[in-house]
């Protein structure tokens, strides 16, 4: 029931995902009448879906403290299905804060994980996208949190990019070892010593290097990550709007647009957020994927695809194994977070 465009677009997106993953079944929580009406346009999806009526909807303006009390909401029921094992993953385009609060309360964090993190794939100039986390779940983080985010992000990158040792960097105000807060420098010291982990720690990166494609995972606190993400999204819209105005400013510009149309189409595809839709709450005992509220059908399908891939590759098992390695390393080497 979330998303700016409502049930019709959500169902169109799930129908697209069904074509890509024919083995999936879907449980659709929400207004039964509206969902079944939308399913009439997608008989292939209807045959693979169960509809569960929800009396309540979490509003976009609801505070998490209010939303978690709506036990009969579509969002709450979807997460409960993951907790009970009736569903492998939950996908929602609704209120991010509410989804995070509900998921954390119901599913709890995995052993060795203090806080879950919101991770997403961002486009780059390289051959692969980049996994970036945390993007808003935790505004303040200590070194221990950042190390855990690095482990979780690397596990995600191994699945998304089919890599054995993803390159990991911490977002910082400079690349020199002395730059940044105590928390960032302490996390870097721990990661440099963690040679047994299935990742390659490459030090620090700056905000202007996020899209260069020279790293696979970028780790930061949720405040910095959310600001960086919104800045990237705003810059992408700024560039496309400036180009649109430039190409419609005169007859000569319009002719130039026709000549460069193939290149502009490629740019639009690369910057389209629907091609990277589907942020993941990593570190929970279950898979929860957050779709952007403004996503179209293609974007919804991509969010479902992300959930399916994480289930197929058993992301929770991978993170659990990596965190066990971190704990073993800590116990054997007496590696602790440096004292303040």
Helix (H, G, I), strand (E, B) or coil at 312: helix
Give the start-to-end residue ranges of the domains of the chain. Answer: 1-107, 111-280+299-340
Query: In this predicted model, what pLDDT tens digit does every residue of 88-140 receive, in sequence order?
Result: 999 999 998 899 999 999 999 998 899 999 999 998 888 889 999 999 888 88
- The edge-to-edge listing of strands for the beta sheet with 279-282 is 89-92, 287-290, 279-282, 117-122, 130-133, 217-219, 167-171, 200-205
Q: What is the CATH number of domain 111-280+299-340?
A: 3.40.718.10
Closest CA to 95 of 74, 116, 64: 64
Residue 12 pLDDT greater than 70, yes or no:
yes
Q: What is d(CA 318, CA 316) in angstroms, rounded to the nearest whole number?
A: 5
Q: Are 148 and 170 in contact (CB under 8 A)?
A: no
- From the number of C-beta atoms within 10 Å of its C-beta (0-12, 13-18, 19+), residue 195 rates as exposed
Query: In this predicted model, what pLDDT tens digit does every residue of 170-218 receive, in sequence order?
Result: 999 999 988 989 999 999 998 998 888 889 999 999 999 998 989 999 9
Q: Between β-strands 89-92 and 287-290, what pairing exists: parallel, antiparallel or unpaired? A: parallel
Q: Which residues of 279-309 are buried (b: 16+ CB within 10 A; e: fewer)?
A: bbbbbbbbbbbbbbbebbbbbbbbbbbbbbb
Is this structure's pTM higher than 0.75? yes
Query: In this predicted model, what pLDDT tens digit does every residue of 263-300 receive, in sequence order?
Result: 666 656 666 667 788 899 999 999 999 998 888 999 99
Residue 337 pLDDT greater than 60, yes or no:
no
Residue 49 pLDDT greater than 90, yes or no:
yes
Residue 152 pLDDT greater than 90, yes or no:
yes
């Amino acid at each position: 029931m979330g998303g700016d465009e409502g049930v019709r677009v959500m169902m169109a997106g799930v129908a697209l995902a069904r074509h890509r993953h024919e083995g999936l079944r879907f449980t659709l929580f929400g207004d039964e009448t509206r969902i079944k009406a939308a399913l009439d346009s997608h008989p292939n999806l209807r045959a693979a879906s169960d509809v569960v009526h929800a009396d309540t909807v979490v509003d976009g303006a609801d505070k998490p403290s209010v939303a978690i009390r709506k036990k009969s909401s579509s969002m709450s029921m979807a997460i409960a299905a993951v907790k009970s094992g009736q569903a492998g993953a939950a996908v929602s385009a609704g209120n991010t804060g509410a989804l995070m609060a509900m998921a954390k309360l119901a599913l709890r964090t995995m052993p060795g994980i203090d806080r879950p993190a919101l991770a997403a794939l961002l486009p780059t100039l390289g051959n692969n996208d980049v996994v970036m986390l945390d993007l808003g779940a935790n505004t303040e983080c200590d070194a221990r949190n950042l190390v855990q985010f690095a482990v979780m992000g690397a596990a995600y990158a191994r699945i998304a990019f089919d890599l054995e040792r993803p390159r990991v960097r911490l977002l910082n105000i400079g690349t020199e070892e002395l730059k940044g807060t105590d928390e960032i420098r302490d996390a870097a010291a721990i990661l440099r010593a963690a040679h047994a982990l299935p990742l390659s720690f490459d030090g620090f990166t700056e905000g202007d290097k996020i899209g260069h494609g020279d790293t696979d995972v970028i780790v930061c606190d949720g405040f910095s990550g959310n600001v960086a993400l919104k800045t990237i999204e705003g810059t992408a819209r700024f560039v496309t709007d400036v180009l649109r105005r430039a190409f419609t400013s005169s007859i000569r510009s319009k002719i130039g647009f026709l000549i460069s149309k193939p290149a502009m189409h490629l740019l639009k595809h690369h910057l389209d957020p629907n091609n990277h839709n589907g942020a993941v709450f990593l570190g929970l005992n279950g898979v929860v994927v957050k779709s952007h509220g403004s996503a179209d059908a293609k974007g919804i399908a991509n969010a479902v695809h992300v959930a399916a891939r994480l289930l197929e590759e058993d992301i929770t098992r991978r993170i659990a194994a990596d965190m066990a390695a971190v704990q073993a390393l800590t116990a054997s080497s007496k590696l602790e977070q440096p004292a303040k």
